[in-house]
Amino acid sequence: MAGIVLWRFGRIFFLFLAGVSLLLCVAAAGLWVRSYAAAQNVYRRSAQSTLIAAVSRGECGVLILGDGEGGLNSTGDGAADWEWSREPSSDLLEVPAGYFPEAPPPVAGFFFSRVVGSVDSRMMILLPMGFVVTLTALLPLSAAVSIRRLRAKRRRLSAGCCPGCGYDCRATPGRCSECGRVFAAAGAGGAAAELQARTPAPPSERQNAVPD
């Protein structure tokens, strides 16, 4: 029983994360398309540092310029000033050469460098928007696949078929004579049937797993 509750909770959490990821994916895709027409920039300025987050020409990046060693992570001053601006699009891949002349140039749109000195500090990360969109699409896609699979299993169960291989088990309810899977037949409790459908019991437990 605890296993079923835990599985249900885990599944709801997974679907929630997938939903959030889907929203991020759609937002990133929108920004990606718009980034060729204009750059979207966000500035955060405080006494010790300036953060610039930008999406432009299919790239997104964050550049932090700070004072000395503490500049990169100065968050405690409380007087940060935020600003959003739309600017003509520019090639973000050209920015590293100016701020990080020592660092290797971006590769396939990816760049990361960090310089911490006693007088000033700098950090920059660049990612292609295609990578961001793909990354945020992974979770929603896997959720869609798992929902499809679960529906197929439920359909098979309610038709009296094996949830695993689809073999007609009406003659031997709860047990598949084709693949040997033991499952709770339709009507024998939704959640239990679901869990059984998801996890084939190991052979040693199969005798005990037959409902009633």
Binding mask 133-162 for Zn ion (x = CB under 5 A): -----------------------------x
- Number of residues lying near Zn ion (CB under 5 A): 8
Residue 179 in contact with Zn ion, rule: CB under 5 A: yes
Q: How far is the CB of 178 from Zn ion (least distance, A)?
A: 5
Q: How far is the CB of 41 from Zn ion (least distance, A)?
A: 57
Which residues lie across from 87 on neighbouring strands? 39
β 49-56/59-67 pair status: antiparallel
Residue 14 in contact with Zn ion, rule: CB under 5 A: no
Place of tokens 């499809």: 148
Give, as one character, the DSSP assignment of residue 192: H
Q: How far is the CB of 151 from Zn ion (least distance, A)?
A: 17
H helices present in 66-160, as ranges:
95-99, 129-158
> Which is nearest to 63 in space by CA: 109, 96, 37?
96
Residue 164 in contact with Zn ion, rule: CB under 5 A: yes
Residues 6+ apart with CB under 8 A from 192: 4, 184, 211
Stretch that binds Zn ion, among 55-63, 123-131, 135-143, 168-176 (CB under 5 A): 168-176
Cβ contact 202:176 at 8 Å: no
Pick from 29, 38, 167, 206 the residue near Zn ion by CB under 5 A: 167
Q: Which amino acid is at 210?
A: V
Closer to Zn ion by Cβ: residue 100 or 183? 183
Footprint of Zn ion (CB under 5 A): 162, 164-165, 167, 176, 178-179, 181
